[in-house]
Structure 1
Amino acid sequence: MSIWWSLHLRREAASVPLARRLLLGTMETAGVDPDVSYDLSLALSEACANAVEHGGRQDSSTAYRVTAYLDGEKCRIEVTDSGPGFTRPQSARQAVRPVSDEAENGRGLCLIQELADHVHIGNKPGRRGAVVSFDKILKWKKDAPLMAV
């Protein structure tokens, strides 16, 4: 069975927990293992926080999009914004820069890289904006209602 949903969210801090709760609720209902759900929800929170922080003009009138796919044994999440995007094409490893221990931010892409199985970080093709997508192989609770067969 497949499930997918897409949200169009204002670039406001309050949108981040909304996306996270929707993902957690979907995964709990489907019967995904809580540890996998937590990892993906944390990665999603970081991607959304980046879109809110860097995804456009300094006001909150712009929006960003979150799309989640649970398909078979994999979950794929994509967060896109309409900001300036990345300054040059880069792989996920190049986009993730180490930060000092004293830094108060800058760890979001590193966390996503560690929590997901595959990460793609880039710009929207032919348009303005960044795309952060990641996926993870799902583990299921025993007798999960939507478990892949």
Structure 2
Amino acid sequence: MDFNWLIASFGASAVLMFGLPAAKLSQPRNVVGGHCISALTGILVRLIIQPQYAGGNLNFISTALGMSLSLTAMQATGTTHPPAGATGLLAASTDPIPDWQGFKFLLTALAGSSVMVLVALVFNNLIPGRRYPTFW
């Protein structure tokens, strides 16, 4: 089975959206924006750092920068979503791959997080007493 459209950090996003649907960090802006900004940040870090040092393994540096710069970007844009920090980490830690495949990861983050928000929108609003989202 092929899981090209799966990012591990989506599991933690689902916990927030379905377990704590009213939380600020669970709202659509945070979920979609956080994953996309983090994916883009991680991809850019990987593309900048890893080709420069192809002879040595600097995965630990790109991974740390991918996550920390993703957090900084999310905070600056008001889209903080804790699971998305792992998305930035994953994007930055991938072995050197062609550029277009790295940006395919960004499309995966956009599509996957958008579908999760749509499912959370339907599911949470079917349950009496729940309302999702509380803001966009």
* Fold similarity call, TM over 0.5: no
Larger relative contact order, structure 1 or 2 (CA cutoff 8 Å, min sep 6): 2
TM-score (normalised: structure 1)? 0.32
Bigger helix share: 2
TM-score (normalised: structure 2)? 0.35
Bigger strand share: 1
